Structure 1
Amino acid sequence: MTALMPTVLLFEPHFVLRRTVAAAARQLGIAEVHEAATLHAADRLAQLQRYDFVIVALDGAPVADIEAFAKRCNAGRVIGMQAPGLPVSCAGVSDTLHKPLKVKSLLSYLMA
């Protein structure tokens, strides 16, 4: 029996980082990744299905908007990616990775 790949919603406004993470996850067969460049787009995608993981750029929108999104997105786990100088905590986010980050660090969360 083949294990199903986890579904991931990736909200990251920076094109290169978003595409690199998504392409690596897909190429390695780690996850089915759905990409969003804006929080609004991520919100629309989250309304269509439940995700195993939601990865959010904490520098991509106001913290209050991200917190509200994290609470309503109905994900198994929400992981934040934090730029230097941002607050450490964000309600609804279970884990936080610090930018700049290695793609391998982020992918390890999806493989756990």
Structure 2
Amino acid sequence: MRAATSPQLLLVDPHSLFRRTVAMVARQLRIAEVHESSSLEAAHRLLEHQSMDGLLLDIGQGLDALALVQSVRAGALRCPPTTPVALTAEACDLPTAQLYKELQVRRIMLKPFKVKTALEVIQDLARPESPP
């Protein structure tokens, strides 16, 4: 994580009002500098050129976020393979949750949830992980 600046996080969600609200409040509270993306494809392109300290991704339909998380974990993007990741989803069955757990996804939040919950997750993603 960058020492002198706020943690840089990427929020991927199709709903612009949600993205803007979370990004604005996170900045105001100095939790993190939240970059916004409306799609996983745009996020992938961004991460090819810029590193982030954490990712909060909308899971999309089924396994849409899987390829992006796999690319991060494989070291194929600018983010370190250990970059913390959390997901948001309309629904998530047990096999899907297990698949993401194997990729070290920290949390899956089921929609609807409060902006406060998203900010708590962003705060967790911005914090370096404690050793076990």
1:109 and 2:116 aligned: no
Which amino acid letter does the alignment assign opposite residue 121 of structure 2?
A: Y
Q: CA RMSD in A?
A: 2.0
What is the identity, as a one-letter code, of the residue corresponding to 1:68? A
Residue of structure 2 equivalent to 1:71: 70
TM-score (norm 2): 0.71
Flag structure 2 segments of 5+ consecutive residues without an equivalent: 73-78, 125-132
- Distance (Å, rounded) in 1 between the aligned partners of 2:59 and 2:23: 18
Shift of residue 81, structure 1, vs aligned partner: 0.6
Counterpart amino acid of residue 100 in structure 1:
P
In the alignment, the residues of structure 1 paired with residue 46 and residue 14 of structure 2 have an alpha-carbon distance, to the nearest angstrom, of: 15
* Identity across the alignment (%): 35
2:111 alignment counterpart: 99
Q: State the secondary structure of the residue aligned to 1:100.
A: coil
TM-score (normalised: structure 1): 0.83
Distance 1:77 1:101 in 2: 20
Whichever residue aligns with residue 69 of structure 1, its letter is L
CA distance in 2 between counterparts of 1:10 and 1:19 reads 10
Q: Is the 8 A contact 1:9 1:53 kept in 2?
A: yes
The aligned residue for residue 12 of structure 1 is 13
Following TM superposition, by how much is the alpha carbon of 1:109 offset from its aligned partner in structure 2, in angstroms? 2.4
40-49 or 86-95, which moves further after superposition? 86-95
Residue 17 of structure 1 aligns to a residue whose secondary structure is helix
* 1:70-100 deviations in Å (ceiling 9; x for gaps): 12133521100111x3335152322111211
The answer to whether residue 44 in structure 2 is matched with residue 37 in structure 1 is no
Corresponding residue SS for 1:22 = helix
Q: CA deviation at 1:35?
A: 0.6
Unmatched segments (≥5 aa) in structure 1: none
- 2:129 is matched with which residue? none
Runs of 4+ in 1 over 4 A off after TM superposition: none
